[in-house]
Amino acid sequence: MTIHREGYQTITISALAFAVINLLSFYFISAHVPWLSYLIFFVTLALLLFLISFFRVPNRKLSKGDDLIICPADGKVVVIEEIVDQEFFKDRRIQVSIFMSPANVHQNRNPIGGEVVYNQYHKGKYLVAWHPKSSTENERHSVVLRNGRGEILVKQIAGALAKRIVNYLSVGQKAEQSAEYGFIKFGSRVDVLLPVGTKVNVQLNQVVQGGVTVLATW
């Protein structure tokens, strides 16, 4: 396991805050109210460990295959439905949505290999990530990947806690399947829009792993 580069600054600042708070607690509180000093230590330690865990990047054997569409994120499948996409395709698509809790790995991976033909950031609200309107009203970043089998749209969506979406792709770039393409800080969601007729391999409430679980097949 490694720590994602998006977490370096946050973890460094948090570690310094942890050290300063507990040094002050030791000098000014521990002699008079020792239980409070212990409480401060354990609470701040738990918060620091949580942040380190949040930015973790586990070592995994990644899935690849020309006929496979791989899950772009860790989390739970919360939506599988046919919708009309108003952003790019302007037709009916199968939407599969994965909700990421703060406890999940938040690194995002390319579900297919191919060319990036669309890349667009949208400002928006911060509704809870499982809200039905979060796909169209929340802050989000949409990418369309195209290869010889078709096109899919992958949408990083901010949640109530997510305030920063990071996307590393650009139009014209050749994306490698299961390679990293972005990161979302704290609770969030990823939508995948598939062509109608695509065989979906996951079920509602299934727990999936980014870069590993096969989401669908062409």
| Catalytic sites, residue numbers | 188
3-state secondary structure the chain: CEECHHHHHHHHHHHHHHHHHHHHHHHHCCCCCHHHHHHHHHHHHHHHHHHHHHCEECCCCCCCCCCEEECCCCEEEEEEEEEECCCCCCCEEEEEEEEECCCCCCEEECCCCEEEEEEEEECCECCCCCCCCHHHHECEEEEEEEECCEEEEEEEEECCCCCCEEECCCCCCEECCCCEEEEECCCEEEEEEEECCCEECCCCCCEECCCCCEEEEC
**88 CB contacts (<8 Å, ≥6 apart)?**
118, 142, 144, 153
